[in-house]
Amino acid sequence: MLNTQKAVDASVIALNRGMAELQVLVILYDVTYLRQVEQMQLDFVGNVSHELKTPVTAISGFAETLLAGAKDDPKTLDQFLHIIYDESSRLTQLITDILTLSRPDSGQAQAKPVAVADLVAEALKSLQQPIADKQLQVKVAVPQDLTITTVPAKFSQVVRNLLNNAVFYNRQGGVVTVAAKADEKNLHLSVQDTGIGIAENDQERIFERFYRVDKARSRHNGGTGLGLAIVHDMVQQLGGEITLESQLGVGSTFKVTLPLADLPSFYKG
């Protein structure tokens, strides 16, 4: 009897010790997570400063050279003013993207029914010029009556950013295909291109903020390196998922799955 009691006491002590160890483990995990978040924030601020510096340095450098006398040559004046204008546009886009990523969701956004075909058509309209310049063929397979109840601004940003990349990273005379369909719960949207493709070792990092396979090419296309990070954030906020299939030199397909109506409770308003 006495022995049984001792065994029970020992088990209780072991259990308590086990619980204490468990608690210590939980706290350690928490600290590691907080450190990771802190490090990510520091990295982001570091990257932001670096990215902002590039256009600012160009703008002040070219303006200074003009003021020092280069403005007297009309050709140089025109050339430098164009550079200053392009760099200011880049700066504006960068600031817009940074604010989109770092602004906490205000919770004000209301979910509404959105016609997917209309939203795709609108996004393509703003890309008319680069599509014509590259002589791209655009194929759209989206049923006219397909609607999704979602946050329009966020969904639109996802579609616009994916289409933007499908155009800019495409080859001359290539094809962009947008397709959408629904099952009973989800919308399945895919944006496919016949462009440069993304190597396997880059694919897992492609949604990171400021990650670019080819910095010079991204810059040339007016990219900020934040487009896919924004897409990833928005898709997550809307309760969906995004995947990528890509082959170097063949092209890429981004596939987005979003709930047709069952949004995170945050947006039901």
- Per rule CB under 6 A, is residue 174 in the interface with ligand ADP? no
Q: What residues numbered 45-84 form the site for ligand ADP, per CB under 6 A?
A: none
Q: Which is nearer to ligand ADP, 186 or 224 (CB)?
A: 224
Q: Is 43 near ligand ADP (CB under 6 A)?
A: no
Q: How far is the CB of 199 from ligand ADP (least distance, A)?
A: 10
Helices (H), 68-107: 74-102
Choose between 11 and 236: whose C-beta lies nearer to ligand ADP: 236
Residues 131, 167 contacting (CB under 8 angstroms) = yes
CB of 204 to ligand ADP, least distance (A): 12
What is the C-alpha to C-alpha distance for residues 160 and 191, in angstroms, rounded to an integer? 10
Name which position in 193, 194, 240, 258 contacts ligand ADP (CB under 6 A). Answer: 193
Angle, helices 74-102 vs 2-67, to 10°: value is: 160
Residue closest to ligand ADP, measured at CB? 223
- Count of residues binding ligand ADP (CB under 6 A)? 22
| SS3 assignment, position 168 | helix
Span from 52-60, 109-117, 125-133, 212-220 in contact with ligand ADP (CB under 6 A): 212-220
**Site membership for ligand ADP, residue 225 (CB under 6 A):** yes
Q: Which residues have CB under 8 Å from 236's CB, separation 6+?
A: none
Q: Could you tell me the CA-to-CA distances from 234 to 137, 146, 158, 217 in Å, in that order?
A: 28, 20, 7, 25
The correct pick among 55, 174, 223, 240 for binding ligand ADP (CB under 6 A) is 223
Which stretch in 35-43, 121-129, 136-144, 163-171 sits in contact with ligand ADP by CB under 6 A?
A: 163-171
Q: Which of 136, 142, 166, 176 binds ligand ADP (CB under 6 A)?
A: 166
Residues 6+ apart with CB under 8 A from 260: 148, 149, 182, 185, 186, 187
The CB-of-226 to ligand ADP minimum distance in angstroms stands at 6
**Binding to ligand ADP by residue 234, rule CB under 6 A?**
no
User: Residue 25 corresponds to which amino acid?
Assistant: L
By CB under 6 A, is residue 212 in contact with ligand ADP? yes
Query: Which of 218, 256, 258, 267: binder of ligand ADP (CB under 6 A)?
Result: 218
**Helix or strand holding residue 150 (H, E):** strand 147-150
Spatial CB neighbours of 154, under 8 Å, sequence gap ≥ 6: 109, 234, 237, 238
C-beta separation of 59 from 81 below 8 A:
no
Least distance between ligand ADP and beta carbon 151 (Å): 20
Q: How far is the CB of 163 from ligand ADP (least distance, A)?
A: 9
Structure-token match 């993207």, residue found: 97
Whose structure tokens read 């209301």? 110
Task: By CB under 6 A, name the binding residues for ligand ADP.
Answer: 165-166, 169, 193, 195-198, 206, 211-214, 218, 223-229, 252
